[in-house]
Amino acid sequence: MIERSWRKPVRVGPLTVGGDAPISVQSMTKTDTRDIDATVAQIHRLEDAGCDLVRVAVPDEKAARALGEIKRQINIPLIADIHYHGEFALIAIEQGVDKIRLNPGNLRKPEMVSRIAALCRERDIPIRVGANAGSVAEDVLARYPQGHEGLALALVDNALEQIALLEREGMDNIIIALKAFDIDTALYAYRAMADRVAYPFHVGITEAGLPPAGIVRSVAGLTMILSAGLGDTLRVSLTAEPEEEVRVGIETLRSLRLRTGGLTIVACPSCGRVEVDLHALAKEVEEKLRPLDKELAAAGKELRVSVMGCVVNALGEARDADVGLGGGKNKGIIFRHGERVNTVPEGELVDGLIAQVRAELDGAVAGDASK
């Protein structure tokens, strides 16, 4: 079991980050924030994917003034992403956002940071001090030798400078991010910061890139950081649709047993013994069951579904799976809790599996209702 380092709880709208709260998964929209309809539509898709909170870019005043209407149409906390122009943060706060992200590498005017801090404290809005390896202030970088340790310490210093400005205004609703593309840099930075402050950490590997390489890098980095007990909210930064970021984040937490509830699909890699199109079968199962994942998570229930290409693996997996199928030549078996339910034609395998999943879910919900 991974033991999380205790971090001060911070409220972001109705959500708690830090303390004993579960690690939340967030993403960032990839739409033009000024296009309210497109941005809201993408956020709704993120909500369906299980996203807990969402960040949007605020590149100009029009984008800042769109935030109030966007917030009115969504159901998860909204974060305004601010770089360079602190005045856009002030507008975003007036628009009612749930959190402000400031980059300490490019927003360094003490008087502006103080104004933002004072208004956020007045409105009880938290601030994320989001330091990024690609935008550390040059004078801070110059304090340390080149290399991942030097860059990590520069990240920490850059963040601490802004934190000091916020604390001077009595602001302590703070979340910290110390992101880098290099995994060693990010891990070293979070470990160094953990010894200095008790604020919660937003973790991730920035600019990880295209899948699958970006997924591998993100998961490798997040696994190291989270296994060190660090991390209260996370984002997977991919050059892909934001829904994929959320799915990867959720699966990472489930794999590390840092998140419970929801659907886990186990599928064999296939081999020469398989006599069905296993890839197509597994994809169909995933697509049709995806809507149930959120329902299961909301009910606090876990369900493991197994998709196996032959009876040999299916019977072995039956011991660990709640529901599953095993393909064969022109037919296959459906099993539930280690017991064979029936044998059906190949074309009915997915529907037969889904029927058993639904029965399992309905039984779980009915069981809760009877308590």
Cβ distance 173 to 198 under 8 Å? no
Q: How many CB atoms lie within 10 A of CB 118?
A: 14
Q: Clarify whether residues 314 and 327 are in a common domain.
A: yes
Q: Clarify whether residues 202 and 316 are in a common domain.
A: no
Q: Clarify whether residues 169 and 149 are in a common domain.
A: yes
Q: Is residue 336 part of a domain?
A: yes
Q: Clarify whether residues 128 and 144 are in a common domain.
A: yes
pLDDT of the residue at 362: 79
Last residue of a domain, one of 197, 232, 258: 258
Quote the tokens at residue 275: 């006599």
Q: Which helix (H) or strand (E) holds 325?
A: strand 323-327
Count of domains in the chain? 2
Q: Is residue 2 part of a domain?
A: no
Q: What is the mean pLDDT of residues 280-307?
A: 86
Q: What is the pLDDT of residues 31-69, one digit of tens each?
A: 999 999 999 999 999 999 999 999 999 999 999 999 999
Q: Which domain holds residue 336?
A: 263-364
Q: What is the mean pLDDT of residues 176-185?
A: 97
pLDDT higher than threshold 90 for residue 311: no
Say which residues have a Cβ less than 8 Å from residue 281's Cβ, sequence separation at least 6. 307, 325, 327, 349, 350
Last residue of a domain, one of 228, 258, 288: 258
Q: Is residue 4 part of a domain?
A: no
Q: Clarify whether residues 238 and 96 are in a common domain.
A: yes
Q: Look at 294 and 326; give whichever has higher pLDDT.
A: 326
pLDDT higher than threshold 50 for residue 369: no
Q: What is the mean pLDDT of residues 120-140?
A: 96
* Omega cis (within 30) before 212: yes
pLDDT higher than threshold 50 for residue 371: no
Long-range contacts of 256-261 (CB under 8 A, 24+ apart): 256/2, 256/223, 256/226, 256/227, 257/1, 257/2, 258/2, 258/4, 258/22, 258/23, 258/226, 259/22, 259/23, 260/300, 260/302, 261/296, 261/297, 261/298, 261/299, 261/300, 261/301, 261/302
Q: How far apart are CA 97 and CA 102, in angstroms?
A: 14
Average pLDDT, the chain: 92
pLDDT higher than threshold 70 for residue 226: yes
Last residue of a domain, one of 258, 291, 321: 258
Q: Clarify whether residues 224 and 303 are in a common domain.
A: no
pLDDT higher than threshold 50 for residue 370: no
Q: Is residue 371 part of a domain?
A: no
Q: Clarify whether residues 235 and 159 are in a common domain.
A: yes
Q: Is residue 3 part of a domain?
A: no
Q: What is the mean pLDDT of residues 218-234?
A: 98
pLDDT of the residue at 178: 97
Cβ distance 70 to 33 under 8 Å? yes
Q: Clarify whether residues 100 and 146 are in a common domain.
A: yes
Q: How far apart are CA 263 and CA 247, in angstroms?
A: 12
Q: Clarify whether residues 165 and 295 are in a common domain.
A: no
Indicate yes or no: pTM above 0.85. Answer: yes
pLDDT of the residue at 44: 98
Q: What is the mean pLDDT of residues 22-37?
A: 98
Amino acid making up residue 24: S
Q: Clarify whether residues 231 and 179 are in a common domain.
A: yes
Q: Clarify whether residues 272 and 304 are in a common domain.
A: yes
Task: State the angle between helix axes of 86-94 and 110-123 in degrees (0 to 180), rounded to the nearest 10.
Answer: 10
Q: Clarify whether residues 236 and 272 are in a common domain.
A: no
Look up the CATH number of the domain holding residue 332: 3.30.413.10
Amino acid making up residue 6: W
pLDDT of the residue at 34: 98
Q: Look at 99 and 265; give whichever has higher pLDDT.
A: 99
pLDDT of the residue at 51: 96
